[in-house]
Structure 1
Amino acid sequence: MNPKAVPTEAETADLEAIEGVVATVERTQRAKDAEGFLALFHPDALWTTAHGKVLLGLDAIAAFTRKVLPDAVWDGEVTYEVAHTRFLRPDVAAVKVRQVYHSPDGDTEGTPLYVMTRQADGRWLLHVGQNTEVRRE
């Protein structure tokens, strides 16, 4: 979508659905809900963590997530916000996310990029994800 263009009705519905997926990422991360998080992925997904671990396919993403998410420890909470969405095709969107871990020691940020695909049933799924830690200089 052109940043200056007014979204069509269909694009507005898609934007709302995409924001819903990102909100579910936030909710499932906070709840340490591995299965809820994994339900957001396309079977052929490619995921790269903020620390550079590359996970190819849902089986690899699931094994990693089930191992680390339930035992993840952080003080405070994490928030996710859609910063920008660009439709590459009507059924493919690049979604830039602002991820903030709020803690008593101060906030830290990540800047994920999700490529999401709309499925035949209308659901948007995470197809590619690359998270990058934001370093403060």
Structure 2
Amino acid sequence: MGDVLVVGEVSAEVRAAVTGVVAELEQAFNAKDPVALGERFAEEASWTNAVGRRLDGRAAITESSAPAMRGFLRDSFARYEVVKLLEIAPGVIAVNVRQTPTDAQGTPVEGPHGAALYVVARRADGWRIVAGQNNAIDEPSAG
């Protein structure tokens, strides 16, 4: 994990937990596992995907991911890099993530990049994404 801008009181334990959620999301995406991907989200999560479609709830996120992963995303892979952590409140962290397209082995390739914002919160079942938005961008972001 490169340089991460941390704003607020984000302990090393919380940093590890939150960046772990992002790493698990990346692994699920690259494995094309919609169930594992959905499990990174809270039951009541609100998610806006890269094409602007809002999905409400873990079940909707999982259901929407499955056909995409079997279809147009089947040959898409990415590296997710946390670039900023912002404490919104105790147990609630905003996470800016830079997404770089890769091949199946993790080597960067040409293609659209992503800039995502996840709101990750401590829930009864662990740290989960409660809200977020994924944005496809043509060029890598500076931060």
Q: TM-score, normalised by structure 2?
A: 0.80
Aligned residue in 1 for 2:42: 42
**Residues 68-120 of structure 1: CA distance to partner in whole angstroms, max 9, x if unpaired?**
22332336x31001010001011111000010113586142100000011114
Rg comparison, structure with higher value: 1
Cα separation, 2, equivalents of 1:64 and 1:58: 10
Q: CA RMSD in A?
A: 2.2
The change in CA–CA distance for 1:100 and 1:16 in structure 2 (over 3 A counts) is: same
Aligned residue in 2 for 1:28: 28
Cα separation, 2, equivalents of 1:107 and 1:68: 17
Structure 1 runs not aligned, ≥5 long: none
Which AA in structure 2 matches 1:73? Answer: R
Aligned residue in 1 for 2:117: 113
Cα separation, 2, equivalents of 1:49 and 1:4: 26
User: Conserved in 1, the CA contact under 8 Å of 2:7 and 2:86?
Assistant: no
CA shift for structure 1 position 43:
0.6
Q: How many residues align?
A: 130
Structure 2 runs not aligned, ≥5 long: none
Aligned residue in 2 for 1:95: 95
The percentage of aligned residue pairs carrying the same residue is 32
CA shift for structure 1 position 3:
4.1
Which AA in structure 1 matches 2:132? Answer: G
Cα separation, 1, equivalents of 2:98 and 2:109: 19
Paired residue secondary structure (1:30): helix
Which contiguous aligned blocks of 4+ residues in structure 1 show a shift greater than 3 angstroms? Answer: 2-5
CA shift for structure 1 position 28:
0.7
Aligned residue in 1 for 2:135: 132
